Amino acid sequence: MKRILFLIAIALLSIEALNGQTTDSLKYKVITGKEFQKGFTDNRDAVLIDSRDYKDYRKSRIPGAVHVDWPIPEEYFKGKDAPSKDKPLYIYCYAGNRSKKVSVVFYDHGYRNIYSLKGGFDGWRINKMPFEKKRLPRR
Protein backbone atom coordinates (compact mmCIF):
# COMPACT_ATOMS: atom_id res chain seq x y z
CA MET A 1 0.00 0.00 0.00
CA LYS A 2 2.84 2.39 0.88
CA ARG A 3 4.46 1.61 -2.44
CA ILE A 4 1.30 2.49 -4.37
CA LEU A 5 0.93 5.78 -2.49
CA PHE A 6 4.59 6.56 -3.15
CA LEU A 7 4.14 5.91 -6.90
CA ILE A 8 1.00 8.06 -6.99
CA ALA A 9 2.86 10.88 -5.21
CA ILE A 10 5.75 10.65 -7.69
CA ALA A 11 3.32 10.70 -10.62
CA LEU A 12 1.51 13.76 -9.25
CA LEU A 13 4.77 15.59 -8.66
CA SER A 14 5.92 14.77 -12.19
CA ILE A 15 2.67 16.07 -13.67
CA GLU A 16 2.93 19.25 -11.60
CA ALA A 17 6.53 19.79 -12.73
CA LEU A 18 5.46 19.52 -16.38
CA ASN A 19 2.36 21.67 -15.93
CA GLY A 20 2.69 24.90 -17.89
CA GLN A 21 5.89 23.91 -19.65
CA THR A 22 5.90 23.88 -23.44
CA THR A 23 8.63 22.19 -25.39
CA ASP A 24 10.18 24.14 -28.23
CA SER A 25 8.66 21.76 -30.77
CA LEU A 26 5.23 22.95 -29.66
CA LYS A 27 6.20 26.62 -30.02
CA TYR A 28 6.93 26.45 -33.75
CA LYS A 29 6.78 24.01 -36.63
CA VAL A 30 9.82 23.04 -38.74
CA ILE A 31 8.72 22.64 -42.36
CA THR A 32 10.31 21.78 -45.70
CA GLY A 33 11.18 24.35 -48.34
CA LYS A 34 8.11 23.50 -50.44
CA GLU A 35 5.80 23.84 -47.41
CA PHE A 36 7.57 27.03 -46.39
CA GLN A 37 7.21 28.58 -49.84
CA LYS A 38 3.56 27.56 -50.16
CA GLY A 39 2.80 28.88 -46.69
CA PHE A 40 4.10 32.38 -47.16
CA THR A 41 2.96 32.75 -50.78
CA ASP A 42 -0.58 31.47 -50.14
CA ASN A 43 -1.10 33.78 -47.17
CA ARG A 44 -0.90 37.50 -47.89
CA ASP A 45 -0.66 38.26 -44.16
CA ALA A 46 2.40 36.05 -43.68
CA VAL A 47 5.65 37.68 -42.61
CA LEU A 48 8.88 36.24 -43.98
CA ILE A 49 11.82 36.80 -41.61
CA ASP A 50 15.52 36.36 -42.39
CA SER A 51 17.45 35.92 -39.14
CA ARG A 52 20.92 35.58 -40.66
CA ASP A 53 23.62 38.18 -40.18
CA TYR A 54 22.90 41.36 -42.12
CA LYS A 55 25.98 40.83 -44.32
CA ASP A 56 24.46 37.56 -45.58
CA TYR A 57 20.98 39.06 -45.91
CA ARG A 58 22.28 41.98 -47.95
CA LYS A 59 23.97 39.58 -50.44
CA SER A 60 20.99 37.29 -51.08
CA ARG A 61 17.61 36.50 -49.56
CA ILE A 62 14.26 34.89 -50.22
CA PRO A 63 12.16 37.52 -52.05
CA GLY A 64 10.02 39.53 -49.65
CA ALA A 65 12.02 38.67 -46.53
CA VAL A 66 12.63 41.27 -43.86
CA HIS A 67 15.77 41.16 -41.75
CA VAL A 68 15.67 40.77 -37.98
CA ASP A 69 18.87 41.13 -35.96
CA TRP A 70 20.07 38.38 -33.64
CA PRO A 71 19.88 38.56 -30.75
CA ILE A 72 16.60 40.36 -31.18
CA PRO A 73 16.65 43.60 -29.18
CA GLU A 74 13.71 43.93 -26.75
CA GLU A 75 12.90 47.30 -28.34
CA TYR A 76 12.04 45.50 -31.59
CA PHE A 77 8.86 44.09 -30.06
CA LYS A 78 7.80 47.52 -28.84
CA GLY A 79 8.46 49.27 -32.16
CA LYS A 80 6.50 49.73 -35.35
CA ASP A 81 8.60 47.14 -37.23
CA ALA A 82 7.36 44.21 -35.14
CA PRO A 83 4.76 42.16 -37.03
CA SER A 84 1.24 41.85 -35.75
CA LYS A 85 0.83 38.87 -33.42
CA ASP A 86 -2.05 37.51 -35.48
CA LYS A 87 0.11 37.08 -38.60
CA PRO A 88 1.91 33.83 -39.39
CA LEU A 89 5.71 34.08 -39.24
CA TYR A 90 8.00 32.18 -41.62
CA ILE A 91 11.51 32.35 -40.21
CA TYR A 92 14.77 31.18 -41.73
CA CYS A 93 18.48 31.48 -41.03
CA TYR A 94 21.53 30.02 -42.72
CA ALA A 95 21.24 26.34 -41.76
CA GLY A 96 18.12 26.10 -39.61
CA ASN A 97 19.52 26.42 -36.09
CA ARG A 98 19.22 30.15 -35.37
CA SER A 99 15.70 30.28 -36.80
CA LYS A 100 14.60 27.84 -34.09
CA LYS A 101 16.01 30.16 -31.41
CA VAL A 102 14.38 33.17 -33.07
CA SER A 103 11.08 31.26 -33.24
CA VAL A 104 11.19 30.67 -29.48
CA VAL A 105 11.82 34.37 -28.85
CA PHE A 106 8.81 35.31 -30.98
CA TYR A 107 6.74 32.67 -29.19
CA ASP A 108 7.79 34.09 -25.83
CA HIS A 109 6.53 37.49 -27.04
CA GLY A 110 3.05 36.16 -27.81
CA TYR A 111 3.30 34.92 -31.40
CA ARG A 112 1.64 31.56 -31.98
CA ASN A 113 1.71 30.84 -35.72
CA ILE A 114 5.43 30.27 -36.33
CA TYR A 115 7.22 28.21 -38.98
CA SER A 116 10.95 27.53 -39.26
CA LEU A 117 12.60 26.52 -42.54
CA LYS A 118 14.18 23.07 -42.37
CA GLY A 119 17.77 23.32 -43.60
CA GLY A 120 17.63 27.11 -43.65
CA PHE A 121 18.67 29.27 -46.59
CA ASP A 122 21.45 26.83 -47.45
CA GLY A 123 18.91 24.05 -47.96
CA TRP A 124 16.67 26.48 -49.84
CA ARG A 125 19.43 27.23 -52.36
CA ILE A 126 20.53 23.57 -52.69
CA ASN A 127 16.95 22.66 -53.57
CA LYS A 128 16.97 25.37 -56.25
CA MET A 129 14.23 27.43 -54.64
CA PRO A 130 13.95 31.08 -55.76
CA PHE A 131 16.09 33.73 -54.11
CA GLU A 132 17.32 37.18 -55.04
CA LYS A 133 20.93 38.26 -55.23
CA LYS A 134 20.50 42.02 -55.57
CA ARG A 135 22.92 43.57 -53.05
CA LEU A 136 21.42 45.88 -50.49
CA PRO A 137 23.25 48.88 -49.00
CA ARG A 138 25.53 48.46 -46.01
CA ARG A 139 24.30 49.62 -42.65
- Do the beta carbons of residue 22 and residue 101 sit within 8 Å? no
pLDDT band at residue 22 using 50, 70 and 90 as cut-offs: low
Sequence-distant (≥ 6) Cβ neighbours of residue 9 within 8 angstroms: none
Quote the CA–CA distance of 114 and 100 in Å, as a whole number: 10
Best CA proximity match to 71, nearest among 36, 106, 96: 106
Paired residues of 115 in beta bridges? 29, 90
Annotated domain spans of the chain: 23-126
Assess whether pLDDT exceeds 50 at residue 19: no
> How far apart (Å, rounded) are the C-alpha atoms in residues 127 and 72?
29
62: pLDDT strictly greater than 80: yes
14-23, 26-35, 122-131: range with lowest mean pLDDT: 14-23
Note the pLDDT of residue 18: 46
Q: What is the mean pLDDT of residues 65-85?
A: 96
Which residues belong to the active site?
Answer: 93
- Residue pair 102/130 in contact (Cβ under 8 Å)? The answer is no
Burial bucket for residue 67 (CB in 10 Å: 0-12, 13-18, 19+): middle
Q: Average pLDDT, stretch 1-27?
A: 60
Tell me the average pLDDT of the chain: 89
Residue 25: CA count within 13 A, CB half-sphere: 0
Q: How confident is the model at residue 5 (pLDDT cuts 50, 70, 90)?
A: low
Q: What is the pLDDT of residue 25?
A: 79
Residues 23-126, CATH architecture: 3-Layer(aba) Sandwich (3.40)
The confidence score (pLDDT) of residue 85 equals 97
